[in-house]
Structure 1
């Protein structure tokens, strides 16, 4: 009894009003009943793409042509009791209109899904291109810095030419002042 009283006291505020029960956030909610059936939009989209791909093939045109030819021939040459669509072929017209009324939205849905995929692909390509441009600009700056740095570095050929110039200067001094070098040795 004490536990029931504590639970009742916890659910009432200081004003004595009853509070609604709190939902626990660490547990999933119970599924609600829905009036409309649930469907997976991705599954429906894949289904519409398969139909749109089929409707865009020569196989579909051949099958549709065969069905219409058999329909017309049956309703012209079959015994009167077995004919289900007389000459103006109103039922055939209704069936073709029904097929077209479903085919057009399915094709549009498939195109919209393809446009969405293309948009995502283009966005990824754009980002990759931006990264490539940034990398190329960075490498260009690095190469320019290396070239500038190499301009200040003494190369082997430059050092060799400087040493050769010094050797020539020393030889020129020795030729011009031979006796001074001899006196300095003594």
Structure 2
């Protein structure tokens, strides 16, 4: 038994045939978006359907005009969010994974060294090495010490270690700041996208409420007319 084909409708903007579930009737489009459509497509009217893809583009253009009126020139991040809204793409991403893909071998090694240098294992190992060095050269083998008191060679080794460790830690901190900056940019895009979606939902709710009130008023008017007609029939003397 053959399956029934889904009903299709033609978009009045792009003139492509799509499933009717992906096409919105023109009368359901709110006034601000309809005005934007008529600006770019003067031949369009509210009786013609519009597909979801075209509708998203007009919504993005409408939001762009609103934001330009509120803020002036838009930033690259805001334009990126509008593009994602137009294409209905997700802007959420795993920042750690994306940032780690950009790291070189030297960056990974320096991060590992910085992590090890800030751990208890390094502190314990460092204290043990210094203590053993001082014991061997100060007490146990004082007669044959290769670095007798005041441990000049030990001071040189520690100075070299500090000189190497400091830039490694700074490089790791710079990469952490870059990662935090990238994370804040993604957070801004997600929050900005959510704000636009919420504003769109609010306008849709307002439109639904206005339509409901209009329908209720029409129903009430019909009821009043019926009641008046019934009253006239009741008061009319029988012939």
Q: Same fold (TM over 0.5)?
A: yes
Q: What do residues 64-88 of structure 1 show as CA deviations (whole Å, max 9, x unaligned)?
A: 1111110000101233454211010
Aligned to 2:179: 117
Instruction: Pick from 40, 45, 69 the counterpart of residue 131 of structure 2.
Output: 69
- Give the unaligned 5+ runs of structure 2: 1-101
Higher fraction of strand: 2
DSSP 3-state at the match of 1:84:
coil
Cα 1:41–1:153 change in 2 (3 A) is closer
Q: How does 1:44-63 map to 2 (within 5 A)?
A: 44-63=106-125
- The normalised TM-score by structure 1 is 0.64
Question: CA–CA distance in 1 between the matches of 2:103 and 2:148?
Answer: 41
Q: Whose radius of gyration is greater, 1 or 2?
A: 1
Question: CA–CA distance in 2 between the matches of 1:139 and 1:47?
Answer: 48
Q: Answer yes or no: is 1:146 the counterpart of 2:208.
A: yes
Name the stretch that deviates more: 42-51 or 78-87.
78-87
Native 8 Å contact 2:116 2:122 kept in 1: yes
Native 8 Å contact 2:138 2:148 kept in 1: yes
Q: Answer yes or no: is 1:102 the counterpart of 2:158.
A: no
Native 8 Å contact 2:136 2:142 kept in 1: no
Aligned to 1:91: 153
Question: CA–CA distance in 2 between the matches of 1:133 and 1:76?
Answer: 69
Aligned to 2:189: 127
Aligned to 2:231: 169
- Give the unaligned 5+ runs of structure 1: 1-39
